[in-house]
Chain A
Amino acid sequence: MALTVYVDGERHRALPGQTVAALLLATGRRSWRTTRLGGRPRGIFCGIGVCYDCLVVVNGLPDVRACRRELCDGDRVETQRGARLPTEELPPEPRVPRTDGDGTDQGARPGEPVRDADGVA
């Protein structure tokens, strides 16, 4: 059973057990955070939760290790720019909240953005 998650507002399918980092890599991203001082891009590095380089914002909460966090249905993942304070507010509504006609996401494989009928992600 696939999960529906959002990456910077774009809807994606994910698999149960899939980590945030695996999904982000599958979407073609190599970086999803910028550093606090130099504003430089970072992505996955150690892959086992040691280095804290792959931090990402999940459901409004910053500093979540993408390599350790498994996705849940409805999760909203955002890239993290510099240092961020936690916010109680969820990120803005996803741009593509609605599903296709029968309520399922058709055709998209895990990691691929789900596209609406007009082809706009």
Chain B
Amino acid sequence: MSAPSHIAAPLTAPPLVVVVGAGPAGARAALSAARCGARVALVDSGERIGGQYHRQPAVAGKAVAGGPDASAAHPLELAVATQPRIAHLPRTTVWALEPLPEPGPAPGRHLVHVQQGPADDRGRPVRTLAADALVLCTGAFDRALPFPGWELPGVVTAGAAQALARGQRTAVGGRVVVSGTGPFLLPVALALPEVGARVLGVYEAGNPARWLRSPAAALRDGGPGRVAELGSYAAGLARHRVPYRTRHAVVAAHGRDRVEAVTVARLDAGWHPVAGSEQRIGPVDAVCVGYGFTPQLELPLAAGCAVRGGHVAVDARQATTVPGVYAAGELTGVAGAPAAAAEGELAGLAAVADLADLADLADLAERPWAAEAAAHLAPPSPARLAAAASRVRSGRRFARALARAHPVPGGWRGWLREDTLVCRCEEVSYGELRDAVAARGADGMRALKLTCRAGLGACQGRVCGRNTAELAAALLGAPVADPHAMDRRPLAHPVRLGDLAEPPPID
């Protein structure tokens, strides 16, 4: 798509920072940028500020433990609502992102194409924001590993159970098993009893490393707040008499048209099931799985940002490899809400500082707008930026410790059978995937998509992408060359064709 020429015209000052995602990272980024004088558009697909971490109850009623109070808005929500330079765009999805062409360098200027209105409705108005800087805080979603029966209704991600319990006060089932790896399973297991579900067990596939059990290491990496949080989860599990077992996982779900029972097995250190340890648990009507998180990479990739180790690469002030584009929160690593908020704060400050710096650059003649824009800004002092950066560092340390403590070793591939689905959308089985690699020469993600349709469905490879890449690599005996090919989504979300017929207004 080429931009209409008038978009490259000088900006209406003050400059516009577009923040995508209104979780703790995005909300803090919006606040810090706005307080430094920028105009901010805070775009989020949800109705309320808070994202997945501070999920606000959408349905009134008694609060769920560990969740926000029903009547009180989260402090972030109040702060955003009372900041006049922030325009919060709720129920708004970014469906495409394009760099804004103009004569001369225009770091960070992008067209952000959005659609606002009830989810997936027909005729959601399309509009385009012209961003002078972009802060991407699109977060992450639960990774689900495939296992026989994982496509049965009632098998859900841990995040789904959490969203339903906290936001909707609805239990995903009556008799529930939780399985996966990582400390984020614990608040899920505690939210379920609050909405009437009985949790039959939490099966942690890993062996939470020494640092989770060692107060000294946890204090060093996470700080006292984290230690207290983990302690409260342990107490909560005990109070609700929820069994918690490590080195165990749900390796199969059984049922005809919905999940009725599961098989739990003991795992060795590589996550291979220990023969003879299988145990059938039932009846159950829901299984919640979560094996860490997968960042929402399509917008950073559309902007051209480099990805390292599965996360968006950022420098010490949250700048990505693309000038004027910043990333914060789970896009850069998973360390919980306080760490995401600290990164957001820094990203917002850095975005304004860099916009103000543009005016000092030598090529001002090519960008007369920069000086006018900068006149509106009150950029943060170097000391303030340094303080924000130092708060980010402890979160990053915690993210690295968390990732080290909860690896996902490859033994899960042994849970699969010939007919186990690897791609849920296109119903592609492990056998079909293996044939595509072994018999039809598919040697990368794009080739797999075209030969066996894995990743070609409605979710655009979000659910199966990482698993497929690992399965293919194991079959090939080498990593696939294009592991993030499925994360490149020129259309970040499906758009109804009729909605594109009208040319969008530019803000």
Contacts and interface: CB of A to CB of B under 8 A. Distances in A.
A43 to B, nearest CB: 4
A81 interface: no
A7 B458 CA distance: 24
B427 A41 contact: no
Given A22-B59, A41-B153, A65 B120 contact: yes
Interface residues of B, number: 48
A19 B153 contact: no
Nearest to A42: B153
The secondary structure that dominates the B interface is loop
Contact of A51 (B52, B121, B459): B459
Contacts, number: 133
Interface string A41-71: 1111111111111010010010111011110
Interface of A: 15-19, 21-22, 25-26, 30-31, 35-38, 40-53, 55, 58, 61, 63-65, 67-70, 72, 86
B153 A43 contact: yes
A15 B258 contact: no
Contacts of B162: 47
Given A40-B151, A41-B257, A50-B141, A68 B159 contact: no
B427 A52 contact: no
Interface string B123-149: 000000000000000000110100000
Contacts of A22: 59, 164, 168, 170
A91 B159 CA distance: 32
The secondary structure that dominates the A interface is loop
Contact of A52 (B151, B296, B459): B459
B170 A49 contact: no
A37 B426 contact: yes
A19 B58 CA distance: 9
B427 A37 contact: yes
Given A19-B168, A61-B121, A68 B45 contact: yes
Contact of B257 (A15, A31, A46, A67): A31
B172 A44 contact: yes
Given A46-B141, A49-B45, A50-B141, A67 B160 contact: yes
* Interface core residue of A19, A50, A53 (most chain B CB under 10 Å): A50
B98 interface: no
A51 B462 contact: yes
Contacts of B206: none
B58 A18 contact: yes
B159 A53 contact: no
A86 B122 contact: yes
Given A50-B462, A51-B424, A45 B258 contact: no
Contacts of B141: 46, 48, 50
A35 B144 CA distance: 19
Contact of B170 (A25, A40, A86): A25
A23 B119 CA distance: 16
